[in-house]
Structures are given as C-alpha cells and as structure tokens.
Amino acid sequence: MKPDRLLKWFLYGYLGLVFVFIFSPILFSIIFSFNSDRFPTIPLGGFTLKWYKTIWQDPDVWEAARTSLVVSFSVATIATFLGFTTAYTDYRYRFKLKPLYLALILLPPTIPLIIMALAMLAWFAKIGLSGQVFSIIIAHTVLTAPFAMAIIRLRLSQMDESLESAAWNLGASQWRALRRVIIPFCRPAIISSFCLTAAVSFDEFAIAWFISGLNKTIPVVILEIVTGNIDPQVNAIGSFVFLTSMTLVIIAQMVLMTKNKTEKGKNG
Amino acid sequence: MADALVEFDSVVKKFGDFTAVERMNFTIDEGEFVAIMGPSGCGKTTTLRMLAGLEEPSEGEVRMQGRVMNAVPAHERDTPLVWQSLALFPFLNARENVEFGLQMRGVDAAARRKKALDWLDRLEIGEFAERNISSLSGGQKQRVALARSLVTEPRILLLDEPLSALDANLVIRMQSMLTRLQRELGITFVYVTHSQSEAFAMADRVVIMSRGRIAQIGAPKDIYRAPDNRFVAEFVGRNNIISGKIKSSSGKSVLINGSLGDFKVSLGGRAKPSPGDEGSFVIAADLVHLSSKKPRAGNQIECSLISEEFIGSVVTLFLEAKDGSEFKVQIQERELADMDLKHMGKVFVSWDPERAHYIGAD
C-alpha cells in the first residue's frame, strides 16, 4: 500500500510537538543558565558563566554532588547485581510460588513514591538508620532493582536455552557456565541496567528528600535553592543533572541497540 | 558385553506423570555409528540427554565403559553434544568457541589455540577462525559446532538432529563429511534424527523408537526390508500392510485371508503363527509388479489409480483396492511411460510371496 503522505506528515508533526513539549522547558532552563539577568525574561540579557561559577564555589553543591555520585554508583552496582540474580533465578529454576516471587520483585515501582519515602523514613527511624548515606542507597536500591531485573530478564529470554547446557556439556561447572556464558551473554543488558539505575538514583528526589538528612543529594539541594531564592544557578545545576542523566540513558540505549543489531545482522 | 562402550540397563525416564523413556535396554559398541530415529516425542532426545548427563534416569542404569553414570554431572563427562540449535556462543568468535572445551579442561592458551586452529582447518573453515559467529553461513556454523565438540578428542560424540536446519543439498554434503569423520576418528557417534534418509545413509545400526520404547534395532537394510512390527513398517519407507486371519501354515509359509482375498507369505524365521491367528504382512511399494492384465495366479489385487507422485526417476502411484484401502506402488518413470496408465480402468498389482514380510498381529 502506498503510504498516505498527509498522514505521514501529520504523524511527524505530532511527534515533533511531543518532543517540543517535553524538551522545551529543559532547553529553556539550559539557555537561562547562561543568561546574565537574574529573572528568566525575554529578551535575554548577556551571556554569562556567573551561575556556573556560583555553584562551582558552593561547598553545599559539591558535597551534594559527591553524595549523589557515591549513592548512584553504589545503587547501580547493588541493584544490577540483585537484578541479575533474581532474573537468573527466574530463568533457571522452576518453583511453586514463582508468580508470587515475580510479583513481589516487581512491586516497588507500583508504590507511589511519597508512600514509599514515608515508609522508608519511618522504618529507618525505627531501626536507627535514618539520615545516613547508606540509607539512601538502600532505599534507592529497593526502587531501582526491579528495573535492572526487567532489563536482564528480557535479555535472558532471548538466549538459546541450550547455550548454558552446551557449556556444561563442554566441561564447565554451573559456576563457570554462569561466569563464562550467562554473564557474557547478558553483558549489554548488565551495562545498560547499570546506567539506567544510576540515572534513576541520580535524579530521584522524593525518597532522597525524606531520608537524606544532612547527606543531601543533588535534587534535594536544587529544591533548597529554589525554595530559598529565585536564582538562575538552579538552571545551571539543572543543566548539569540533565546532562549526567541523559548521558547514562543514552549509553544504556546504545549498548542495547548495537548489540541487537549485530545479532540480527547476518543469518544464514 | 565386555567391549560395549555404552549400556542402557532397564533405563526409565519419567517427567512427573509422563514417561518419556520406558524400560530401555541396549548397548552401543566402541566405534559404532548408531542412529536413534523416531517421530517427535518418542524419547530419542531424552535418551541422548541421559547419555550427556543432562537428564538423570528415573530407574535403571546408564553405564559407560562399565562405569555407572547415573549421578555423574554433565561437566564431568566426556560426551560432547552437537546441538540442534548448534548453541554456539554468540559473544565468542569461531576459534574461541572451539577453544572453550579445552579451556574448561585447563589446557594452556598456546596449546588451545593451536588445537582449535588445527580442527578448524581439518573441517575446512580455517580461514573463518577469527570471524564472528553471526557472520558465518549455516554450513560453516555447523562445522564450528563439530570442531568445538571434537577438539577434546572424545570417545563418543552425540548429535541431536544437527542437520535439520540445513537445506537439502548441504545435508547430503554434511552427511558424507560426518561418515568420513567417524571412520577416520574411529570414535562412536550417536545420532538422533527424525529423518530416515539421514539415519539410513550414515548409521551402522539404527534404533527406532516409538512412545518411549524401542520398536526395532538393526542395520538400516534389515529395518527397511524386514520391519519387526507395524509401527516400523509404517514409519520406514513406502510399505503396504495387509492384515487378515491365518488360514493355513506350512511352517515355511502361511496363507493369510484378508478382505481382498488370500495371500501367500513366506515366513522369515522367528514368527510361528498357527491357523486362526490374526496376522499381517508387509509388501514394500518398490517390490510390487504392476500390470494391465490379470496375472494367472499368485498374490494379486485389483486396483484403480487415484493419484501419482512424481519425484524424478521414481514415481509413486497411489491405488485404491476394492475394499477402499490404499495401495502404494513405486516404479521407474520410464516403465510407467510405456504403460499408458491414464487410459486404463483397472490395474493389477502382484508380488512374489518371497518378497512379502510377515510381521504378526499388533
């Protein structure tokens, strides 16, 4: 059938509008981060790096950036490890309560963030762990591990079932087969799961705000700047966060997509 | 059985309520090419997986060189398998795939590499050693899979329908390569397939399985010409099976009375039917004589032509007898051309009693 040109242009236009809708606030925030005027008004004032200098010199921001990096790196590591082990358990073994097991694992993202944040706060306060860096790590791990598991599970579902048996058949013990066959096969999913969970943790505000205490992460500091005073340094810091998250997400997408391409490539 | 390499001793395999393999007894000798053949779900792959240690028998013993293997884990056996899906590791190149088994056995890198390259050369794909698996053709992948299994120099190689994904002319070439390899190496091949042509072309001995049981074991020719039972007769080749009651028996031959008349059948050896028994016999489609005139005497059936299947030099004719049963005849195309069959209303099929094969009732 001949594609309808009008429909095609309409759909392209629609897609374009969606992108504008999503990205224009971010784009404006980036533009205003270089604007010398204190208030975001048009016409723009002169070009300046003043706001970047302000946050560069702010020890609070540095402290928060450090915390955020430590947290997101730790969260990504733990969540990806947990995601892999749960996905592999699901792939490898059959057991009675498997639907329940899967439901429990996939539950956290369905809980409203505020509820989860409050529950975490109450729980950590009760056992005396609130306000620590590792309490944010624990909470973010709970939140992100299901994503890791979903990504790696998808990859495992694309694996030829006899691949692991083939490794045993060639003399690999179960552990060696896991290390030499399953993990290399899942590598693209593991990398992208690492990047995505890091990005989610880096961006996450609600839980971090409730339980971070004095160990503030970047999103928490942003809110404090916004509530304290209207200041374009928020735009500067926002641009930095946006860049970090987008880099991670794009890496994740690229790793997954290039791998799929080479495998689909030449068959026969 | 001192020199049997593999023994199945009353082996049963159950999956829950389902019995995949039922009380199986057979042995495989050193250096033999054995094909296990049967329709899907007959238990042939399960049998192979028990040899590889991927399934544990529910009852009985699997022994290799006298040693009970039931509880020996797959990775401690030396029973490489060529998989139906090939199961090549997609993240390794051809050479690294071949090296895998050696690496698991602790062979050092240099020796590993040399051996892998030797085997790839031997299977005529040396030039693709550093290529990605995904960039190889079906036949090339097949050879990588073979090299990967043979590089550890096992005494037995298991093959699970390895040629089922290849196209017809490539299958023929791979068959001759496999038989040549097996002879050169002198090791045992156990080859699982549903394809009669593959099994008969390569194997010294064929095991035919049906619903978890062994239906017959024998050389391809024996199975083809002298099937033990109805299942084998129907599964193998183009056979006509006629059943009836034994009218009389002379010890050497019997007269069977079916709905199409009386037929004389020579007895091979084992079967000793007595008058009154139910019995069947097989007459292969290519051992039947076709004529337009009624033969004077002997085994014969009057038929009419239903359809024909032309596949080159041989033609299969599907005929219908008076009682509605189908009768298959295979003749040379040039013979058929002389007969002008289309303009004949009736044809007569006849055969020598010596050619018919008695299979008893079942």
Q: What is the mean pLDDT of chain B?
A: 87
By C-alpha distance, the chain A residue nearest B150 is A170
Q: Report CB contact under 8 Å: B101, A163.
A: no
Kindly provide the residue ranges of all beta strands, DSSP E only, lying in chain B, ordered along the sequence.
4-15, 18-29, 33-37, 59-64, 67-68, 81-82, 156-160, 188-193, 205-210, 213-218, 239-249, 253-258, 261-266, 278-284, 289-291, 299-310, 314-321, 326-332, 347-351, 357-358
Q: Report CB contact under 8 Å: B85, A165.
A: no
> Residue B117 has what pLDDT?
95
CATH number of the domain residue A227 falls in = 1.10.3720.10
| Chain A residues in contact with B54 (beta carbon < 8 A) | 165, 168-169
- From the list A169, A262, A268, the residue facing B52 with the nearest CB is A169
> Residue A2 has what pLDDT?
64
Q: What type of residue sits at position A27?
A: L
Taking only the tens place, the pLDDT of each residue in B86-122 is 999 999 999 999 999 999 999 999 999 999 999 999 9
The residue range of the domain holding A112 is 49-267
> Residue A195 has what pLDDT?
92
For residues B10-14, average pLDDT: 92
Count of domains forming chain A: 1
| Chain A residues in contact with B101 (beta carbon < 8 A) | 170-171
In this prediction the ipTM stands at 0.84
Does residue A189 lie in a domain region?
A: yes
Q: How many Å apart are CA A84 and CA A62, to the nearest integer?
A: 33
| Chain A residues in contact with B132 (beta carbon < 8 A) | 262
Q: Is A96 on the interface with B (CB under 8 A)?
A: no
Q: What is the mean pLDDT of each run of 10 residues along chain A (268 residues)?
A: 81 94 87 78 78 83 89 95 95 89 87 89 86 88 93 93 94 94 94 92 86 83 78 81 87 76 42
More confident residue, B6 or B271: B6
Does residue A163 lie in a domain region?
A: yes
Q: Is A162 on the interface with B (CB under 8 A)?
A: yes
Q: Report CB contact under 8 Å: B100, A163.
A: no
> Residue A1 has what pLDDT?
58
Between β-strands B18-29 and B188-193, what pairing exists: parallel, antiparallel or unpaired? unpaired
Does residue A91 lie in a domain region?
A: yes
Count of pairs with CB atoms under 8 A, one residue in A, one in B? 73
Does residue A24 lie in a domain region?
A: no
> Residue B3 has what pLDDT?
67
Does residue A15 lie in a domain region?
A: no
Q: Report CB contact under 8 Å: B87, A184.
A: no
Query: Global pTM?
Result: 0.81
Q: Report CB contact under 8 Å: A169, B90.
A: no
Does residue A73 lie in a domain region?
A: yes
Taking only the tens place, the pLDDT of each residue in B134-163 is 999 988 999 999 999 999 999 999 999 999
Q: Report CB contact under 8 Å: B87, A166.
A: yes
> A interface mutation test: which of B89, B97, B103, B167 has the most A CBs within 10 A?
B89
Taking only the tens place, the pLDDT of each residue in B209-245 is 999 999 999 999 988 888 888 889 888 877 888 888 8
Does residue A27 lie in a domain region?
A: no
| Chain B residues in contact with A265 (beta carbon < 8 A) | 134-135
Contact present, B75 and B82 (Cβ < 8 Å):
no
Does residue A106 lie in a domain region?
A: yes
Between β-strands B357-358 and B299-310, what pairing exists: parallel, antiparallel or unpaired? unpaired
> Residue B1 has what pLDDT?
42
Q: Report CB contact under 8 Å: B81, A187.
A: no
> Residue A218 has what pLDDT?
84
Taking only the tens place, the pLDDT of each residue in B281-292 is 888 888 888 887
Q: Report CB contact under 8 Å: B87, A173.
A: no
